[in-house]
Structure 1
């Protein structure tokens, strides 16, 4: 480690120790040098070292064990992974949702009736486009439409699974209302109804996959960037 400047000593100490952790100077589970050694390595006071350790503990890099010392808890950068983990998590959620929605649409196409199709079109009209207003209300309308597609499958287990994961599904809907993930538009939603109405499971399957493809592709690009 390089000696520190006299300004912003605590911040510089935090960054110096974090850099050493990320460079894997110490492995996960390794004990850090004691305060005296760190003070010498960084050319700072004990108080500065303690503050740096406290911050790095709060960020999940280190853990302190009473009477034992300070140990490395993680050598993974905690600044990016929060965003990346959310994106990866969203991708998993969209994949799972796609699997449910595809099978539901296939079954719905086989079991659809004019009343079911009319109900789906009414719910889609009520959903409308998101205009930047009440986000929670829009999510509820969009979720109601997708739940109706699941209900049209007439499979009780599938309905219960969708209900169980409704909070996760609502999160996927909310994600499309931000800047990163594209929101499937009204024609994409209408295409699902049109495909179900044909009575052809393959067309229903394809419509849902087309609906989901831009979202999953956008998340893939973000994870690779």
Structure 2
């Protein structure tokens, strides 16, 4: 689908390219082009944006370089990330060792747990209880993919309870890498020896004990299990 873009005002070439990048990014951020979708063809974008072919080409190339779009030979251009930070992280992940990713998770998640214990609201606690219950149910289901997603939701809910918008945005940018560490840790089947209980972590946040919450969050990330 091609969104209805306003006509681009006359501007110097570099400014037109910058404006076009912003308009393409806005279409991704507002959901007009969801993650995984194919964006309109170059001629369609030229017509919709009211700019030249070279301007569209350079704007798309910039978003490809940023890791937001991906050109697939013979198929088209697809949305592979909803923001440039996540795209940059995704480019780094294939070359990163599992231990490095876990270290980054630890930096975010330990501080998030500490802040959540100090700042959580009744609504946050209810959300944490739901996310923990969903994680437990996903484990019992035996479906690894469901568990990985439920585990990610629980950790994101803890980050949200920290009430730090910058931390939440940065943590979201490592979401794909974080899920990959959990998927690698649990493997294709959910064996009892790979289970990591998060009940004590949520209890520490509920108790309003920042030191204990940070300690619990760090404990399961001491090794490279990542779960």
1:97 to 105, 109, 128: 105
Q: Does 1:175 align with 2:191?
A: no
Aligned partner of 2:154 in structure 1 is 145
Q: Does 1:110 align with 2:139?
A: no
Q: How does 1:31-180 map to 2 (within 5 A)?
A: 89-128=97-136, 130-131=139-140, 133-178=142-187
TM-score of the superposed pair, with normalisation by structure 2: 0.51
Q: Indicate if the aligned counterparts of 1:121 and 1:190 stay in contact, CA closer than 8 A.
A: no
- Give the Cα separation in 2 of the matches to 1:192 and 1:143: 15
Structure 1: segments with no counterpart, 5+ residues:
1-85, 220-225
TM-score of the superposed pair, with normalisation by structure 1: 0.52
Aligned partner of 2:206 in structure 1 is 197
Structure 2: segments with no counterpart, 5+ residues:
1-93
- Give the Cα separation in 2 of the matches to 1:206 and 1:184: 18
Instruction: Point out 4+ residue stretches in structure 1 off by more than 3 angstroms.
Output: 131-134, 181-184
Q: How many residues end up aligned between the 2 structures?
A: 131
Query: Cα offset for 1:137?
Result: 2.2
Q: Indicate if the aligned counterparts of 1:110 and 1:201 stay in contact, CA closer than 8 A.
A: yes
- Give the Cα separation in 2 of the matches to 1:127 and 1:178: 16
Q: Indicate if the aligned counterparts of 2:121 and 2:161 stay in contact, CA closer than 8 A.
A: no
- Give the Cα separation in 2 of the matches to 1:142 and 1:105: 15
Instruction: Tell which structure's C-alpha radius of gyration is larger.
Output: 1
Q: Indicate if the aligned counterparts of 2:116 and 2:158 stay in contact, CA closer than 8 A.
A: yes
Q: State the SS of the aligned residue for 2:194.
A: coil
Q: State the SS of the aligned residue for 2:139.
A: coil
Query: Cα offset for 1:194?
Result: 0.8
- Give the Cα separation in 2 of the matches to 1:165 and 1:87: 14
Root-mean-square deviation (CA), in Å?
2.9
- Give the Cα separation in 2 of the matches to 1:134 and 1:94: 23
